[in-house]
């Protein structure tokens, strides 16, 4: 790694792309690494299957608590130092999670991971805005998004494969080693900020929150963000329990491999912007909702290939929704766009936390069909909100 970085050390653009990709990869590698091994964790800690969803919820909830203020803090104190320190500090709770002797201790270290993750991804996004031109910004955002998608996929796949062969504790050790490698890559490759100017108005930034929370279009977008991650977490948490049971009886490695459907987001995320610019956001959302519902319907079928195809439709559709909602925050915000984005992230991750909890009762009572019903209701509510509130006051378009 260090030799490769040395070779392109003089090329700032390559270094920047490598560091941004590593930041996205590192964040979501850690965020989602338990999702493929939930049945194993349930057996290891002797807890109910639905309760293991808390291992997904804990870092999401911590992230939602930190996200609103991270941008304002970094606006005052800088970018690269925060990103690098958080990346290296993340190794510690990851190692402690590998050594946890109780389920509650494991949840504590997962929550601690979530407290650190916003310092990486939120500030990386701010760094991109500071250090790139308008044309390069879109490309770097795409690089970050690709890193995030590959990180989310890798976290699930690596933890599943290692758990299948060696156990879940070595899986977390493997995640810690990869975290160290990515932290080193960011430290060496990310150029020192050149365009950063400290802002001393943290209090003024925080006072913009009431303005955002009284904006109906922003509130609607926050509701969509809530629904997006609620749907994603609910589907990809509880489908594990269905596929781990008979007649499929998939092990951790196979469950991790199922998440290859996430890679559809690499194609659909940039395509979403083009579709929205051509047909309009509300029309695209009106099509995506039924596609997701059809994918959910396919997961009710018996053949494994139909379930995987359904999951591909669901994940691809949700990534389109996420792209459109994130972009619409900037359109809907009247001022204080950075804090508007911070609030969006908060609602987004609160939705993810709820997605790991609320379907648990339905799972125990009705199994997978109960979870599908809850996600369908969430999707219907999102579409109703978009239809009512996603109106434009200008001809603003999405990048791409």
- For the chain, the domains span 1-198, 208-400
CATH superfamily of the domain spanning 1-198: MFS general substrate transporter like domains (1.20.1250.20)
pLDDT of residue 8: 40
pLDDT of residue 7: 42
CA atoms within 13 A on the CB side of 115: 11
Contacts of 74 (CB under 8 A, 6+ apart): 82, 119, 122, 123, 126
Kindly tell me the burial class for residue 249, based on how many C-beta atoms sit within 10 Å of its own C-beta (0-12, 13-18, 19 or more). Answer: exposed
Joined tokens for residue 235:
């589907």
Whole-angstrom distance, CA of residue 201 vs CA of residue 203 = 5
Whole-angstrom distance, CA of residue 377 vs CA of residue 383 = 10
Contact between residue 190 and residue 15 where contact means Cβ atoms under 8 Å apart: yes
Contact between residue 295 and residue 313 where contact means Cβ atoms under 8 Å apart: yes
CA-atom Rg of the chain in angstroms: 20
Of 149, 168, 143, which is closest to residue 158 (Cα–Cα)? 168
Q: Residues 354, 358, 359, 360: is their CA dihedral positive or negative?
A: positive
pLDDT of residue 71: 66
H or E segment at 254? helix 252-258
Per residue in 182-233, pLDDT (tens digit) is 999 999 999 988 776 665 555 666 677 788 889 999 999 999 999 999 999 9
Per residue in 96-136, pLDDT (tens digit) is 999 999 999 999 999 999 999 988 987 887 788 777 765 67
pTM of the model as a whole: 0.83
Direct distance between the N- and C-terminal alpha carbons of the chain, in angstroms, rounded to an integer: 32
pLDDT of residue 197: 64
Domains 1-198 and 208-400 share a fold: yes
DSSP 79: S
CA atoms within 13 A on the CB side of 9: 9
Record: fold of 208-400? Growth Hormone; Chain: A; (1.20.1250)
DSSP 208: T
Q: Which residues of the chain have pLDDT under 70?
A: 1-10, 71-72, 74-77, 133-135, 138, 196-206, 336-338, 392-400
pLDDT of residue 322: 87
Q: What are the phi and psi torsion angles at 30 (to 5°)?
A: -80, -35
C-alpha triplet 78, 351, 312: angle, nearest 5°: 100
pLDDT of residue 196: 66
DSSP 273-336: HHHHHHH-HHHHHHHHHHHHHHHHHHTTSSSHHHHHHHHHHHHHHHHHHHHHHHHHHHHH-SS-
């Amino acid at each position: 790694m260090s030799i490769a970085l040395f070779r392109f050390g003089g090329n700032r653009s390559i270094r920047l792309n490598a560091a941004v990709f590593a930041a996205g990869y590192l964040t979501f590698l850690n965020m989602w690494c338990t999702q493929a091994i939930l049945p194993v964790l349930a057996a290891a800690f002797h807890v109910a299957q639905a309760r293991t969803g808390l291992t997904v919820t804990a870092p999401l909830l911590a992230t939602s608590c930190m996200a609103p203020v991270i941008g304002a803090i970094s606006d005052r104190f800088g970018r690269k130092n925060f990103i690098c320190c958080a990346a290296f500090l993340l190794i510690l709770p990851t190692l402690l999670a590998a050594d946890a002797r109780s389920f509650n201790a494991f949840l504590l270290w997962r929550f601690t991971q979530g407290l650190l993750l916003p310092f990486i991804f939120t500030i990386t996004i701010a760094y991109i805005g500071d250090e790139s031109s308008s044309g390069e910004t879109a490309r770097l955002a795409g690089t970050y998004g690709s890193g995030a998608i590959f990180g989310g996929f890798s976290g699930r796949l690596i933890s599943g494969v290692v758990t299948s062969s060696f156990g879940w504790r070595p899986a977390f050790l493997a995640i810690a080693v990869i975290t160290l490698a990515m932290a080193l890559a960011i430290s060496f490759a990310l150029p020192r900020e050149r365009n950063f100017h400290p802002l001393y108005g943290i209090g003024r930034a925080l006072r913009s929150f009431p303005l955002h929370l009284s904006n109906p279009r922003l509130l609607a977008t926050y509701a969509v963000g809530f629904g997006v991650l609620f749907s994603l977490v609910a589907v990809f948490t509880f489908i594990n329990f269905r596929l781990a049971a008979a007649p499929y009886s998939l092990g951790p490695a196979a469950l991790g491999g199922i998440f290859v459907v996430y890679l559809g987001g690499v194609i659909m995320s940039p395509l979403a912007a083009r579709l929205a610019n051509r047909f309009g956001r509300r029309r695209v959302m009106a099509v995506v909702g039924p596609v997701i519902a059809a994918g959910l319907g396919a997961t009710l079928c018996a053949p494994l290939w139909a379930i995987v195809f359904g999951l591909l439709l669901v994940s691809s559709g949700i990534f389109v929704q996420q792209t459109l909602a994130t972009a619409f925050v900037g359109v809907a915000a009247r001022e204080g766009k950075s804090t508007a984005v911070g609030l969006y992230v908060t609602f987004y991750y609160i939705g993810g936390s709820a997605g790991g909890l609320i379907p648990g009762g339905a799972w125990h009572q009705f199994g997978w069909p109960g979870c599908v019903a809850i996600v369908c209701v969430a999707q219907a509510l999102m579409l109703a909100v978009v239809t009512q509130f996603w109106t434009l006051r200008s001809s603003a378009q999405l990048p791409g």
